[in-house]
Chain A
Amino acid sequence: MSSVTVAAGPAAGLLSRSRIGSAGRRVLSRVLAAVLVLFASATVTFFALHLTPGDPVRAVLGGPTANPSPATIAATIAEFGLDQPPHVQYGLYMSRLASGNLGMSFSQRQPVIDVIAAQVGPTLQLMASAIVVAWVLALASVMATTRRHPLLQGLGSALETISAALPQFWLALVLLAIFAFGLRWFPPQGNQGALSLVLPTLALALPLAGFLAQVTRESLELALDQPFILSARTRGLSEGAVRWRHALRHAVLPGISLSAWAVGSLIGNAVLVEVIFSRQGLGRVLYQAVTRQDMPLTIGVTLLVTLVYILASAAADLLFVLVDPRLKAHRS
C-alpha cells in the first residue's frame, strides 16, 4: 500500500458527492478550517518559543560587549510586553493577531509585516522555480524512459532513485563547489538576476524531481496497463499521443497530491539553501528568529508558512479535480 491511495483520499471523496451543490459549503468549511489551523499554529509556536530557555531581552541587548543600564533593560522588557505573565501575553498577542496586527519584531526592529513583505518574494521565487523545474525534470525522465528499452528504463529509474536520496544541503554544497567556486559559471551568492537563482533552484529541485518521478513512473506504468490505453492504440494513435494525451492525465494525479506536501518540504529546505547561498528569504529569517527567540517574528513567519501550505493544498486539490479525467467524464 503506497501513499498514493491515501493522498488521493480527499479528492477521491469528491467523486461521491454532487460537486456543484455542495461547492459553497465546502469552500466555507475549508476557510473555517484554515482559520482554525492558523490559530492553532500561532498557539503552538507561542508556547514552543515561550518554553525555550533564555531571555529575548538579553538576546537583543546582550552579547559579548554589551553594557546596558538597568533603566534600558527595564524599558526594553516593558516595550516587548514581557513583564506580563505568559497567559496575559498570549491573550494580548492573540487579540492583536485577530485584528490583523502581527506586532513588532524584537530582533529586527521592524513591524513583522514589513520583514515578511521584504523577504517573502525571494523565497516564493525560489520555491516556484524549484517546483516547476522539478516537474519538468520528472516528466522528462518519466515520459522518455517508462516502458521503453529496458536499459533506458533502468537508467531512468536509477537516476530518479539516486536524485531522491540526495540531501538538499549536501547537494547545495556540491553545486556551490563545482559550479560557483570551480567553474565560475554561476555566482556563489546573490539575490538578483536569473543566474543567481540557478544553483539554489537545482539544489531544491533535483531531489524533489527524483521523488515526483518515482511516484509518477509507478502511476504511468499502471495507467499504461489500463484497457483504455489499449483501445487508444488500436485506434491507431502514436505512442507519443497515447502517452501525452491519455496516460499522462492519470499518471500525474498522485504527483499533484504530493505537490502540496512538497511545497511544505520545500519551505523547510529553503532554510538550508538560503543559508548556504546567502540569499534573502523567509527561511533564513525564520532560523534567525527562532535562535534569537523573537516571538512576534517567529509566529508571523510560521503563520505565513501555514497559509502558504493551506493555499498549496487547496490548489493541489483543485488541480487534481481539473486534471482528473475520471471526473471529467463524470461531469459530461
Chain B
Amino acid sequence: MTLSDVLPGRAIASRIRIGRLPPAGAVIPGLFLVLLILAAIEPRLFTAANPLAIAPREAFQPPGPAHLFGTDQSGRDIFTRVIYGARQSLLLGVGAITVSMSLAITLGVIGGLGGRITQRAVGWTLDVLFSFPTLILALLFASHLGNGIGPLIIATGIGNVPGYARMVLGQVVSARHAGYVEAARALGHSPARIIRRHILPNAMRPLIVTVTMGIGQAIVWSSALSFLGLGAKPPAAEWGTMLSMGRDFVQRAWWMTFFPGLFIVLTTLSTTMFGRYLQRRLEGRLP
C-alpha cells in the first residue's frame, strides 16, 4: 500500500502492478530509457552500420527488412542514425541539464542563503534572464559560440537556467524556514551544519524529479536549435538535424521525419512519466 493507492485520481498506469514491481507507468518508460542509455553507450549493440555512410543507389527507400526505418536522400540508414542520435540526444540532454543545474543551484543557493539584499539581487537577475524566452537566449548563444555539440549544450543549458534557478531559490528559501531547521537551530547546531545536513538535502531532493523531466525538455530544445540549423549541422546523426533534413521530403519520404520525431516524443514521454513516478515515491517519503 503506497501513497499512490491512497490518493485517488491517479492514472491507471500507476495502478497496474505485478507483484511488488513498480507500476507499468514506471516500468515501461524506465525500460525505454535503459535501452536508450545502452544505445548511447554502445550503439553497435543495435546496429552495425555507419550512420554517415552514403549509398546513393538506395536513396528514399521506405521502411522494410533491409532498412527498418527507411533511408534518406543520400541512402543513409535512418534506423542507424536514430540509434546514434540517441547518443547525441542523451549527451545534449544530460549535458544541458548539468549546465543548467550547476548554474541554477549556484545562483539559487547563494540567493536563498544570503541576506535580503543578496536574495533580491539574485531574484532580480533571474527575472531579467527569465524574460528571455529559452529559445531566444539559446539562439543568441548558439550563434555566438558557433557550431557543434559543445556550444549547443551550453546554449540550451543557459537558456533554461532562469526557470530552474527560480525553483531552487524557492526551495532553499522554504527549506530555510522549515520546522526542522528551527528545531536544529534550537538544538544549537552550527549554521554550516544546518545548511549541509538539513537545508541543502531537503531543497535538492525535489530537484531530482525536475532533473529527470528536464532532460527530456533539454533534448527537445536542442533538437529545435538543430532543426533551425544552429546546432548539430547536417548530416550529423542528431534527431533535430534529421528532422530538418527530412522536412523537404515530407510527402515523398515521410519516414525521414516520422522516426526521429517519434523518438524525441518517446524520450520526452519516458522522462516525464518516470519523473512523475519518482515524484510520487518521494512524496510518499517526505514528512
Contact = CB atoms under 8 A, between A and B. Distances in A.
A165 B265 contact: yes
Contacts of B206: 1-2
Interface residues of B, number: 51
A309 interface: yes
Interface string B263-280: 011001100110000010
A303 B135 CA distance: 15
A16 to B, nearest CB: 14
B228 A271 contact: yes
A268 to B, nearest CB: 3
A165 B268 contact: yes
Given A45-B140, A51-B144, A302-B132, A173 B250 contact: yes
B10 to A, nearest CB: 8
A310 interface: yes
Interface of B: 8-9, 11-13, 124, 127-128, 130-136, 139-141, 143-144, 146, 163, 166-167, 170-171, 174, 206, 210, 216, 220, 223-224, 227-228, 240, 243, 247, 250-251, 254, 257-258, 261, 264-265, 268-269, 272-273, 279
Contact of B257 (A146, A173, A291): A173
State the main secondary structure of chain B at its contact with A.
Answer: helix
B136 A173 contact: no
Contact of B128 (A41, A48, A267): A41
B113 to A, nearest CB: 17
A257 to B, nearest CB: 12
B134 A290 contact: no
A228 interface: no
State the main secondary structure of chain A at its contact with B.
Answer: helix
A173 B174 CA distance: 43
Interface of A: 1-3, 5-6, 9, 33, 36-37, 40-41, 44-45, 48-49, 51-53, 146-147, 150-151, 153-154, 157-158, 161-162, 164-170, 173-174, 176-177, 181-182, 221, 261, 264-265, 267-269, 271-272, 275-276, 286-287, 290-291, 298, 302, 305-306, 309-310
A165 B262 CA distance: 10
B133 A268 contact: yes
B227 A169 contact: yes
Contacts of B273: 161
B167 A40 contact: no
A3 B167 contact: yes
Contacts of A275: 228
Given A264-B134, A310-B131, A49 B224 contact: no
Contacts of A181: 250-251
Given A147-B9, A287-B228, A306 B131 contact: yes
A164 B171 CA distance: 25
B243 A48 contact: no
